[in-house]
Amino acid sequence: MLRAMIAATLLLALPVATHAAGLKPKLDAFKAFARDYQAQNGVLSMSYAIAKDGEIVAAEGFGWMDHDAEEPTTADTTYLVASITKTFTAATLLAMDADGVIDLDDDFTTLSDWDERCRRLSVSGNIFGGGQMLAEGYRPPRIRCGARISLRDVLRMRVLGEPGTNFLYNPIVFGRLSNWVEEKTGVSFQRWMRHYVIDKTDLENIAAGWRDARGGHALRLLAPPFRYAPEERARFEPTALPNPELNGSSGIIASPRTLAAYSIALDEGRILPPELLREMWTPPQEANGSPASYAHGWWSQEWRGQRLVWHGGWWPEAYAGFLLKVPDKRLTLVVYGNTDGLHWGNPLGRAEIEKSAVALRFLELFAVESEDIALRP
């Protein structure tokens, strides 16, 4: 009986193992790179998962998820993934629109506290209110508090100046999408997100905010945040947990393995049908005819002729990481850590994930054809 059980277990594992076996040199190269990166860039706890053709082919964890080095990191260690939550919000709202629950052309500015919040944002000097020069030399227009802004404008991050015409990444306004949905439907945004995304795919080890009654396992495995200070005697200093409440912009708590399973579910049409998935990942055109850098809740760009969609997440001196997809290759990397050592400073006005050393190494290994480039040290 025991021999039969072992044989059955090996048989069930064979498809994943066989698929991963063909990628082994590249997986080994990425693992070595990731381990070095974790050690050299002050990421106390770092986890990643790689998915290819519907299978999770690698899932690793390095370091410790606590200050006393008693709890080793695994691929199931969870993190407050910050703005990766926006991808869940986008899928939820597109599905609600398709079902007629909401209309993405509805007026976002009917939100009860919008007038006061917009007024404060417009005079605050905050970059997300517009009017400030960006590092790349672009001065976005100020937000117009009397203008009509649609839900789609907010999903596309096109709320400054004439709504729908100017892109600037804007997590403050995006975050209020959850409040708008709750006011209009009388149902918590957590319930909508679970209904349209999380529960449709039976995702485990995930919480839609820290108040999610069904997210206890994710909360139990959470790696607390740290500040990395290499010049100080105590190189890692515990920091306060960032806002763990769920809103349109942030609040998902999950492991990289779970987010890789989420990515596979997107590819397989288990969250959105193909036409809505294409819509979510298709950016509008800028005035010069070029595609914008942001679609609906996802960054969008080309790299060496290949389409990339992705989202980063960053809480300063706490958490950082990203979810990167190469849709045409059914290829995904999710990586996260409990310091901000994975943050690469993507500009607010354009998508440049290749500036992340981890993302670039992954793309060189798995998204290009040249073995010479891929397997270099």
The residues spanned by each domain of the chain are 23-101+187-374
The answer to pTM > 0.75 is yes
pLDDT reported for residue 9: 35
CA–CA gap between residue 212 and residue 208 (Å, rounded): 6
Inter-residue contact 263 to 249 (CB < 8 Å)? no
Cβ count near 228 (within 10 Å): 18
pLDDT tens column, 59-113? 999 999 887 778 999 999 999 999 999 999 999 999 999 999 999 999 999 999 9
pLDDT reported for residue 371: 55
CATH architecture of 23-101+187-374: 3-Layer(aba) Sandwich (3.40)
Share of the chain above pLDDT 70, in %: 92
- The residue behind tokens 């939820």 is 92
pLDDT tens column, 284-340? 999 899 999 999 999 999 999 999 999 999 999 999 999 999 999 999 999 999 999
CA–CA gap between residue 217 and residue 204 (Å, rounded): 8
| CB neighbour list of residue 243: distance below 8 Å, 6 or more residues apart | 250, 251
